[in-house]
């Protein structure tokens, strides 16, 4: 499945650190869905901290933040507590949501090809329509760009 800007975002339900997550249930709210490779790794920790540090600004823009990776729910709970994230982390160990959003890629790691999540963020408007996506992104400055785009929707 390919997703496209200005098309309905693929809906799904999945376990999260706040209970069952349902994208459909968030209609009427702006949603930031950020996919990251792995809990407790340097880049993913920094990215989560950046979203955490601007959480109040996202809320003021009417946007809800959710992180998602293939880690287990128990891993997410520990990661969230350690980093004091004020937003839920969604567990996708079977990669169903990752496949819906097309974020699984072959990557080079220590000279070997491995399949993993390409760091990506999706901005979904209050009608459930995908308005912006960032794929293969670099962490520095990214969260500021997402916040600016969320404010434009708000």
Which residues are marked as active site?
A: 44
What span, in angstroms and rounded, lies between the C-alpha atoms of 30 and 22?
14
Phi, psi of 106 (to 5 degrees): -85, 130
**Token pair for 70:** 């293939």
Longest pairwise C-alpha distance within the chain: 45
Task: Count CB atoms within 10 A of the CB of residue 112.
Answer: 7
Are 103 and 3 in contact by the 8 Å Cβ rule? The answer is: no
For residue 82, what are the contacts with CB-CB under 8 A and spacing of at least 6? 40
């Amino acid at each position: 499945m390919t997703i496209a800007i200005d098309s309905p975002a693929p809906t799904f339900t999945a376990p999260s650190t706040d209970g069952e997550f349902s994208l459909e249930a968030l209609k009427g709210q702006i949603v930031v869905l950020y996919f990251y490779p792995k809990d407790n790794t340097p880049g993913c920790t920094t990215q989560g901290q950046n979203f955490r540090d601007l959480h109040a600004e996202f809320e003021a823009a009417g946007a809800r933040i959710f992180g998602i990776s293939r880690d287990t729910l128990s891993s997410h709970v520990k990661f969230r507590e350690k980093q004091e994230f004020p937003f839920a982390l969604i567990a996708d160990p079977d990669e169903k949501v990752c496949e819906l959003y097309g974020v699984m890629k072959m990557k080079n790691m220590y000279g070997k090809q491995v399949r993993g999540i390409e760091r990506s963020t999706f901005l979904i408007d209050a009608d459930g329509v995908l308005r912006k996506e960032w794929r293969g992104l670099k962490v520095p400055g990214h969260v500021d760009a997402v916040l600016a785009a969320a404010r434009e929707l708000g």
